[in-house]
């Protein structure tokens, strides 16, 4: 455990020292919020056109501002060792109905999951991971899932494939998984969100579950307004994280096609243009969040988007006296600034996720587990490729 707290302290110090660069609300702020603290960096962003490739942008920024260099350190996460006994060939029909990338994630996760007497699959969905584990070792798997329809579908699949897999409808946030954890040898969770994976960790510790393998996801999906650290080490940190700050940890796109990137850029421009319009029309400076929009509306142009957004926010009475036209160019300018601000905050994203992973890992170590952390697959397969593997 000794290296985990030391690594945490190193990351924590760097994140705290420069938190004004990444704890920002890019849609809310009309100006660079940290320009007084980092005037040279602010002038640099205003002056240059950032490189198109992410790696080139990082290299340019680190060359001019060496204090950003530690961001490279937290990108090199170790890979977890593969469990060689899992080389049993899996029939192709096992992956029927599962998207290719998701099935690859499942197989990669299973390949680094220890052999166990039995498994408990947490937040199982239709139990695809459990299905694979049950087949590979002819092992009993108990899958917990909140949605009854997914339990029913998973049960049908298990019976069709003649697997030793059972399903239980359970709300794990209400403690309905505790007895199952107390009777499980190994608990697994692939991409359990926010409070769901936090509850798994806390309940597994309480139940003294011998083996725990999980890949955390969506750290910001929590009931708490501010992050509540698990480990004693993290509890001693002065760093305070809002839900918006936690969202940065998962704010990245591993792969995106050209069309998807164009639509994303267009939506950003339209949203910021509308935001500038509503501030001017209402003569108020606060940001109004707009709901998710159908992509078809984006293709109809800025005016159509603004009419839709104004209707969503009850602002249609302001349209006649406040035309939309001039605000599209304002949106374009703001979008460029937001992208520059996010280029800086993204440098801190890997370190923040590492900080959160370490908090979970150290908590397990504090409670008697031998803990390994690392990646279970390449980032191109899923950006959430961290895995915590713990045994006691």
pLDDT in tens, 90-121: 888 888 888 878 999 999 999 999 999 999 99
According to DSSP, the residues that pair with 118 across neighbouring strands are 140
Whether the predicted pLDDT of 51 surpasses 70: no
Whole-number Å distance between alpha carbons of 163 and 210: 23
Section 13-28 average pLDDT: 95
Which residue in the block uniquely carries the two structure tokens 């408990």? 120
Backbone angles phi, psi at 235, to 5 degrees: -65, -25
Whether the predicted pLDDT of 256 surpasses 70: no
Which residue in the block uniquely carries the two structure tokens 């109905």? 97
Give the pLDDT of residue 139: 94
Within 10 angstroms of residue 292's Cβ, the number of other Cβ atoms is 5
Section 302-313 average pLDDT: 97
Section 358-370 average pLDDT: 98
Section 40-45 average pLDDT: 94
Instruction: Evaluate whether 344 touches 251 at the Cβ level (below 8 Å).
Output: no
Which residues are CB-contacts of 378 (< 8 A; sequence separation ≥ 6)?
385
Sign of CA dihedral 43, 10, 213, 147: negative
Whole-number Å distance between alpha carbons of 308 and 306: 5
Whole-number Å distance between alpha carbons of 218 and 209: 24
Give the pLDDT of residue 255: 52
Give the pLDDT of residue 260: 79
Give the pLDDT of residue 82: 86
Q: How far is CA 381 from CA 131, 254, 360, 374, in A?
A: 20, 8, 23, 15
Domains, the chain, in order of start with CATH, read 13-64+256-346 (no CATH), 84-250+354-391 (3.40.50.150)
Residue with the larger pLDDT of the pair 333 and 87: 333
Burial of 187 (0-12, 13-18, 19+ CB in 10 A): buried
Burial of 102 (0-12, 13-18, 19+ CB in 10 A): middle
Q: What confidence tier does 178 reach under pLDDT thresholds 50, 70, 90?
A: very high
Instruction: Evaluate whether 189 touches 195 at the Cβ level (below 8 Å).
Output: no
R_g of the chain computed on alpha carbons:
24
According to DSSP, the residues that pair with 387 across neighbouring strands are 374
Whether the predicted pLDDT of 196 surpasses 70: yes
């Amino acid at each position: 455990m000794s290296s985990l707290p030391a690594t945490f302290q190193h990351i924590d110090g760097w994140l705290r020292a420069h938190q004004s660069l990444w704890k920002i609300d890019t849609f809310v702020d009309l100006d660079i919020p940290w320009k007084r603290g980092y005037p040279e960096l602010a002038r640099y962003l205003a002056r240059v056109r950032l490189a198109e490739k992410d790696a080139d942008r990082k290299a340019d920024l680190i060359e001019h501002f060496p204090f950003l260099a530690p961001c490279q350190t937290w990108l090199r996460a170790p890979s977890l060792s593969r469990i060689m006994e899992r080389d049993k060939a899996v029939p192709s029909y096992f992956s029927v109905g599962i998207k290719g990338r998701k099935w690859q994630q499942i197989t990669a996760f299973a390949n680094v999951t220890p052999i166990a007497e039995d498994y408990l699959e947490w937040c199982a969905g239709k139990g695809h991971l459990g299905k694979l584990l049950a087949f590979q070792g002819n092992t009993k798997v108990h899958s917990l899932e909140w949605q009854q329809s997914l339990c029913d579908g998973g049960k049908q699949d298990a019976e069709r494939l003649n697997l030793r897999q059972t399903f239980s409808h359970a709300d794990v946030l209400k403690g309905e998984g505790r007895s199952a954890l107390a009777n499980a040898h190994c608990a697994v969770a692939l991409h359990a969100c926010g409070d769901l994976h936090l509850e798994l960790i806390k309940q597994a510790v309480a139940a003294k579950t011998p083996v725990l393998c999980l890949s955390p996801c969506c750290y910001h999906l929590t009931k708490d307004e501010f992050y509540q650290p698990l480990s004693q080490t993290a509890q001693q940190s002065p760093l305070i994280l809002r839900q918006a700050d936690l969202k940065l940890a998962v704010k990245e796109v591993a792969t995106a096609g050209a069309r998807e990137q164009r639509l994303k850029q267009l939506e950003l421009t339209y949203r910021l243009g509308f935001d500038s319009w509503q501030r001017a029309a209402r003569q108020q400076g606060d940001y109004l969040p707009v709901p998710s929009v159908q992509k078809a509306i984006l293709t109809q142009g800025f005016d159509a988007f603004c009419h839709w957004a104004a209707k969503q926010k009850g602002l249609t009475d302001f349209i006649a006296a406040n035309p939309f036209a001039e605000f599209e160019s304002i949106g374009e300018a703001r979008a460029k600034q937001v992208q520059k601000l996010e280029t800086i905050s993204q440098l801190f994203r890997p370190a923040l996720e590492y900080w959160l992973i370490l908090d979970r890992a150290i908590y397990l170590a504090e409670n008697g587990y031998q803990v390994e952390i690392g990646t279970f697959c390449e980032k191109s397969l899923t950006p959430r490729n961290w895995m915590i593997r713990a045994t006691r």
